Amino acid sequence: MTGLRAHVARYLVLLAVVVAVNFFLHGRYLLEQPANRMLTVAATLIDLVVITAVVLAWPGPQGLASPLFVLYYPVLVGFAFVFPPAASAAYTGLALVGYAGTCLLADPSFVDSSRQVELLVQRLTTMAAVGGLATYYWRIQRARRRLARRTAHAGLRRHGLRQDIARDAVSGAWRIGMW
Q: Using CA atoms, how far apart are residues 10 and 139, in angstroms rounded to an integer?
A: 40
- SS3 of residue 67 by DSSP: helix
pLDDT reported for residue 115: 95
pLDDT reported for residue 100: 96
Which residues form the domain of 66? 2-175
pLDDT reported for residue 24: 75
pLDDT reported for residue 177: 47
Question: pLDDT tens for residues 68-96?
Answer: 899 999 899 888 888 889 999 999 999 99
Question: pLDDT tens for residues 121-179?
Answer: 999 999 999 999 998 888 888 788 788 877 776 665 555 555 555 555 555 554 444 44
What is the number of domains present in the chain?
1
3-state secondary structure 75-118: HHHHHHHHCCHHHHHHHHHHHHHHHHHHHHHHCHHHHHCHHHHH
Q: What is the pTM of this model?
A: 0.72
